[in-house]
Chain A
Amino acid sequence: MSDPVFVYSLSTCPWCRKAKEYFADVDLLPDDESDRLADEAYSLSGSRAFPVVKIGGEVIVGYAPERFAVLLETQA
């Protein structure tokens, strides 16, 4: 079983929405939209920029579908 995908997002951010749409067919961990997780996202990424996407042990900052695809492929 592949590792879960976690999308740290802001409700005001269109790129966060796109990231969640990208992973529509993937099991996201719940509670993926909350300001209270911002500090957790920062501890992972070292950045206050969103979205932050965690796939397995890898963390990507920003909407980067090409990189999402590569990481999902390696997780499959």
Chain B
Amino acid sequence: MAHEARSAALREFFTPLVGALGYKFTPDTELADFLLEQEAVLEENKGAPYCPCQGRTRTREHDMTIVCPCIPYHRAHFDAMRRCWCGLFVHLDVTDPAVLPQIAASELGVEE
């Protein structure tokens, strides 16, 4: 993994932050490792560890809302799915992330 050191640092940095929000890293370690590596790539290329599955608009107001962990900015949406959009984090009580699908905020009737 080309960005192994930075991925490990992001994991250490994020763990207490998301724990305080009621989330944890997905138990799918392969997915978590891939997403953390992509965030390290985005940080290197775009300046911040943006969500790998949300598009930047290149406007600061929006783009700050998709810097990982972006849970506080999408709380209602993510709480309804019991996972964040990219799946890096899941609710603390989740043991099988495979049963938690991506559902658009508009379909859940919540703000994105």
Q: Which residues of A contact B (CB under 8 A)?
A: 10, 12-16, 35, 38, 41-42, 45-51, 60-64
CB of B52 closer than 8 Å to a CB of A:
yes
Q: Which residues of B contact A (CB under 8 A)?
A: 31, 34-35, 38, 41-42, 52-57, 62, 66, 85-87, 101-107, 112
Scoring A13, A15, A49 by chain B CB atoms within 10 A of each residue's CB, the highest score goes to: A49
5 smallest A-B Cβ distances: which pairs?
Answer: A62-B102, A12-B52, A61-B104, A12-B38, A13-B53
Q: Which residues does chain A contribute within 8 Å of B112, judged by CB atoms?
A: 47-49
Q: Which residues does chain B contribute within 8 Å of A38, judged by CB atoms?
A: 55-57
Min distance, Cβ A10 to any Cβ of chain B, angstroms: 6
A46 & B34 in contact (Cβ 8 Å cutoff): no
Task: Taking A49-B105, A62-B101 as given, write out 16 further A-B residue pairs in contact, using a Cβ cutoff of 8 Å, ordered by the A residue number.
Answer: A12-B38, A12-B42, A13-B38, A38-B55, A38-B57, A41-B55, A42-B55, A47-B105, A48-B112, A49-B55, A49-B85, A49-B102, A50-B53, A50-B55, A63-B101, A64-B102
A–B complex contacts, Cβ < 8 Å, 9 sampled = A10-B52, A12-B42, A12-B52, A14-B34, A14-B35, A47-B104, A48-B112, A49-B112, A61-B106
Whole-angstrom CA separation of A38 from B53 in the bound complex: 12
Q: Which residues does chain A contribute within 8 Å of B86, judged by CB atoms?
A: 13-15
The answer, among A10, A13, A15, A49, for a CB contact under 8 Å with B104, is A49
The answer, among A14, A50, A63, A64, for a CB contact under 8 Å with B54, is A50
Min distance, Cβ B6 to any Cβ of chain A, angstroms: 14
A15 & B102 in contact (Cβ 8 Å cutoff): yes
Whole-angstrom CA separation of A63 from B112 in the bound complex: 16
Whole-angstrom CA separation of A51 from B104 in the bound complex: 10
Whole-angstrom CA separation of A46 from B53 in the bound complex: 15
